[in-house]
Amino acid sequence: MTVSAVALASPSAPHARTATSQAHTARPAVRKPDQWVTVQRGQTLASIARAHHISWDALVGTPPNTAHLHYPYHLVPGEHLRIPADPRLRAEQYRAWRAAQARATAAARARAAAAAAAAARQRAAATEASQPITAGMSAYEQCVAWRESGDNPTASSAGLFGILPSTWAELGYSGTAGQAPVALQKVAFQRLYAEYGTQPWSPSDGC
């Protein structure tokens, strides 16, 4: 009975030793620690970065180097710089970060430019609204505007200067004069005046 028990127990012993051995060998890989270098006289960011296969700007951007390195980055002998465990990976991360920063800056500038343009349009619209409709017109132009529409640019489809829809279309504009902004109606008047003079208006308006 004793022999049988020993015989039955013996085969399990190697398995127990194998499991124990695997437990000892299956350890997680230890990550290489970051390296610290002490700046020597005559060294520069470029020379240190080159020696460790990293760009100088990525080296500056590696914490905590960023906290004590300030442009124009004069190194002081004896100060310590951190070299990341994987310089190439850090350089790639830094380039990606710089690219993201550049995109964010460009987007912010675009938003600022758009906001400035919108503000300028609002100021222009407010200025135009505050001025009389005849501001900047010649005496003849003012006379035509009064005779044709009573200075009302939307009084009819002919608009401020009585420009018929057919004539408006011939000028290359869509819709009718009465639907167009006052500034465009003034441009249309100037085009007609430059080509035909007072002829389109004087016979009926008496201007």
* Cβ-contact 59, 95 below 8 angstroms: no
How many domains does one find in the chain? 2
Averages of pLDDT over runs of 10 residues in the chain (207 residues) are: 38 43 40 76 92 87 86 88 83 82 90 88 73 85 93 92 95 94 93 93 82
Report if residue 190 sits inside a domain. Answer: yes
pTM of the model: 0.40
What is the b/e burial string over 172-183, where b = at least 16 CB atoms within 10 angstroms of the residue's CB? ebeebbbbbebe
Query: Do the domain assignments include residue 12?
Result: no
User: Which of 72, 89, 106 finishes a domain?
Assistant: 89
| Structural domain containing residue 71 | 35-89
Supply the CATH number for residue 66's domain: 3.10.350.10
Burial 25-63 (b: 16+ CB within 10 A, else e): eeeeeeeeeeeeeebeeeeebeebbeebebbeebbbbbe
pLDDT of residue 7: 38
Judge if 85 and 143 occupy the same domain.
no
Q: State the Cα–Cα distance between residues 146 and 54, nearest whole angstrom.
A: 76
Residue 89 is predicted with a pLDDT of 80
For residue 107, being part of any structural domain is answered with: no
pLDDT of residue 99: 87
Residue 70 lies in a domain: yes
